[in-house]
């Protein structure tokens, strides 16, 4: 069978959206093929079954985050700059792929990470380990508090933007933007706020900036 070069990508895009919205069990092969504008025969040309397609969707989603993170966080970054870069990476990646946070959460809730275990292990060994190393370097240099557990601190850093992306409808209502969620500008500014918030908790007393030097943060959408 001759298939268009972008047919596989179209199937992955359609499957990602439906899996994120409906979950694995409620999404059918026919629905994915229809959303991609192809027949089911072409879907089976690329993927052996629904599980195989689902795994490919997860691999693309997690793999994209890992590869982009490794590119952005390469090199000997200053500890504070690295924390900022990590948070900016999350905000930018999920801003471009707004369905992926919901895809990840559905996988955790519905399957207990059964299908994503390999990708999560890879994420832990790459980006999360790199963030822990950054925090430990900051501690060794006297920039970050030595009493903090680096792994717990890293989880706190990751969780801020991750939760904001998952709970966008609720946060939109909280800030008066409505269930459609915050604007792109608000989200970008929130990433700056999250970085300042994280660094305020990480810094030693001696390295905390004077209050007058802190940037103001918008409170509305």
Q: Is the pLDDT of residue 2 over 70?
A: no
pLDDT at res. 55: 96
* Residues 26, 60: Cα–Cα separation, whole Å: 21
**Count of H helices and E strands in the chain?**
11, 0
Higher pLDDT, residue 34 or 163: 34
Q: Name the nearest CA neighbour of 24 among 16, 33, 35.
A: 16
Domain 1-47 in CATH 1.10.10.60? The answer is: yes
Mean pLDDT computed over 164-183? 91
Domains of the chain by residue range: 1-47, 59-213
61: pLDDT confidence band, cut at 50, 70 and 90?
Answer: very high
Q: How confident is the model over 94-121, as pLDDT tens digits?
A: 989 989 999 999 999 999 989 999 999 9
pLDDT, residue 76, reads 81
Instruction: Assign 73 a pLDDT band (cuts: 50, 70, 90).
Output: confident
Q: What predicted TM-score, i.e. pTM, was given to this entire model?
A: 0.84
Please state, for a pLDDT cut of 70, what percent of the chain lies above it.
Answer: 90
pLDDT of residue 45: 96
The torsion defined by the Cα of 137, 65, 58 and 23, in degrees rounded to 10, comes to 100
What is the average pLDDT score of the chain? 90
Residues 136-147: tens digit of each pLDDT: 999 999 999 999
Check if 1-47 and 59-213 are the same fold: no
| DSSP string covering 14-56 | HHHHHHHHH-TTT--HHHHHHHHTS-HHHHHHH-SSHHHHHHH
Looking at the predicted structure, is the pLDDT value of residue 3 above 70? no
Q: Of 24, 16, 17, whose CA–CA distance to 109 is shortest? A: 24
Res 208 pLDDT > 70 = no
Rg (CA), the chain: 20
Please say if the pLDDT value at position 214 is more than 60: no
End-to-end CA distance of the chain: 50
The tokens describing 21, both together, are: 């919205």
- Here the tokens at position 155 are 């989880």
Q: If you ran DSSP here, which 8-state letter would residue 221 be given?
A: -
The CATH code of domain 59-213 reads: 1.10.357.10
> Which is higher by pLDDT, 16 or 207?
16
In the three-class reduction of DSSP (H, G, I as helix; E, B as strand; rest coil), residue 179 is classed as coil
Helix axes 129-140, 79-96, angle to 10 degrees: 160
């Amino acid at each position: 069978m001759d298939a268009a070069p972008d047919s596989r990508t179209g199937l992955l895009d359609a499957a990602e959206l439906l899996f994120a919205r409906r979950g694995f069990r409620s999404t059918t092969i026919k629905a994915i093929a229809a959303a991609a504008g192809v027949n089911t025969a072409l879907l089976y040309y690329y993927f052996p079954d629904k599980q195989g397609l689902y795994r490919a969707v997860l691999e693309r989603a997690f793999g994209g985050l890992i590869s982009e993170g490794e590119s952005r966080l390469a090199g000997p970054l200053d500890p504070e700059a690295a924390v900022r870069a990590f948070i900016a990476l999350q905000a930018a990646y999920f801003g471009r792929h707004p369905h992926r946070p919901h895809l990840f959460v559905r996988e955790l809730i519905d399957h207990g990470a059964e299908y994503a275990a390999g990708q999560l292990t890879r994420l832990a060994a790459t980006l999360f380990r790199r963030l822990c190393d950054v925090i430990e370097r900051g501690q060794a240099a006297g920039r970050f508090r030595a009493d903090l557990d680096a792994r717990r601190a890293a989880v706190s850093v990751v969780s801020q933007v991750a939760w904001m992306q998952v709970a966008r409808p609720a946060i939109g209502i909280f800030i008066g933007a409505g269930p459609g969620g915050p604007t792109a500008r608000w989200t970008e500014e929130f990433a700056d706020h999250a970085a300042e918030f994280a660094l305020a908790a990480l810094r030693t007393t001696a390295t905390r900036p004077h209050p007058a030097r802190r940037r103001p943060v918008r409170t509305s959408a």
